[in-house]
Amino acid sequence: MTPRIGTVSLHSPVVMAPMAGMTDTAFRRLVKRQGGCGLVVTEMVSSEGLVRGIDRTLEYAEYTEEERPVSIQIFGGDPSKMADAAQIVEGMGADIVDINMGCPVPKIAKHHAGCSLMREPSHAASIISAMAKAVKIPVTVKMRAGWNEHDINAPLLARMAQDAGAAAVAVHGRTAAQSYSGESDWSLIAHVAAGVSIPVFGSGDCVEPAQIVARLRESSVAGVLVGRGALRNPWIFQQATDAAMGRVPRTVPIEARGQFLLDYMDLLIDERVSEATGFRHTAPGQSDGPPPEARGRERWVINKLRALGSWYTKGLDGGAQLRVSINSAKSIPELRDLITKFFVSS
């Protein structure tokens, strides 16, 4: 069954999880092109930055038509600013606006945003409610299991979110205190799903297509979010679809893996060009995006390749060496050359 989030129907229940620094528009487009991905979510975007129209904040919210349906995730702790930010997101034409209630990073949590909202469920509900009243597009919430092992309140918060107008929730089954240690608690996720009538998406530790299929069959969730698994294997969505249909998951030729990185680099370079021509779904602003000068642009592309490379090379034969080479490359032509050589000659 294909899930619906409010008025938005997804052609696949397998969704790409939001990942700051990783799920930029270039990566999302390439993932969509490989097939099987029902929804993409942007990196988290500051509500404050959106409302103030700070240059670069909106770069995080950019998307292209081929990514649809697209959900823009925002973070913040002030109900009226979050409502205003939701309206900006709606004005940008996004299909869904998602609220980050899962980020454990102190920089975010200290502003009563991210996962710290799970410690203040009534305040969290007032944010959801303000946003749901302000926009017509579905408002969704991404949360963790709870703040820590003594305060596992995802089932309660999901019910409150539903009552406040959320169209769906996603649950990463770890607490903020756990960060990424231990395992995602899928029995808790199932418990959340049993307590609400809106769709619940589960998140955590689905790194193989077979795991995605098993979670979809066993956990009574409407869908599964794939995060780190997609950074290693962007074909995982299509492979999971194959497995769900009883087909052998497709194999990915090594050259296609290399081409993915080359295409990623090209899209990142193009993006800087389209910025100049204004062809993007942006409104007028985050503070560590790419600087405008050419050398800065090249450095930005290199840093982006390094970030993806640190995940993408895991599990590849010779991957550790490739990672070292990517990390020491000083220019785009050097990167292109070493990627081509590695994937063609391996």
Please give the residue ranges that form the binding site for ligand FMN (CB under 6 A).
17-22, 43-44, 73, 100, 102-103, 142, 172, 203-206, 225-229
Phi, psi of 100 (to 5 degrees): -80, 110
**Beta strand residue intervals within the chain, DSSP E:** 4-5, 8-9, 14-16, 39-41, 45-46, 70-75, 96-101, 139-146, 168-175, 200-203, 223-226
Nearer to ligand FMN, 142 or 323 (CB): 142
Query: What is the number of other CB atoms lying within 10 angstroms of the CB of residue 292?
Result: 11
Nearer to ligand FMN, 21 or 53 (CB): 21
The DSSP-derived string for 130-158 is HHHHH-SS-EEEEEEEESSTT---HHHHH
**Catalytic residue (choose from 37, 103, 115, 206):** 103
CA distance 44 to 71: 10
Min CB(237)–ligand FMN separation in Å: 12
Min CB(73)–ligand FMN separation in Å: 6
Closest C-alpha among 319, 318, 301 to residue 310: 319
Min CB(333)–ligand FMN separation in Å: 28
Min CB(102)–ligand FMN separation in Å: 4
Residue with tokens 């990196």: 43
Closest C-alpha among 191, 178, 162 to residue 102: 178
Nearer to ligand FMN, 155 or 298 (CB): 155
Min CB(230)–ligand FMN separation in Å: 8
Eight-class DSSP state of 21: T
Instruction: Name the residue whose CB lies closest to ligand FMN.
Output: 227
CA distance 165 to 30: 33
- Residue 74, strand partner residues: 45, 99
The helix/strand/coil state of 8 is strand
Query: What is the number of other CB atoms lying within 10 angstroms of the CB of residue 87?
Result: 18
- Could you confirm whether 37 is annotated as catalytic? no
Nearer to ligand FMN, 206 or 332 (CB): 206
Nearer to ligand FMN, 49 or 342 (CB): 49
82: its two tokens = 């979050």
To the nearest 10°, the Cα dihedral for 285, 289, 292, 297?
A: -150
Min CB(3)–ligand FMN separation in Å: 17
Nearer to ligand FMN, 43 or 185 (CB): 43
Active site residues: 103
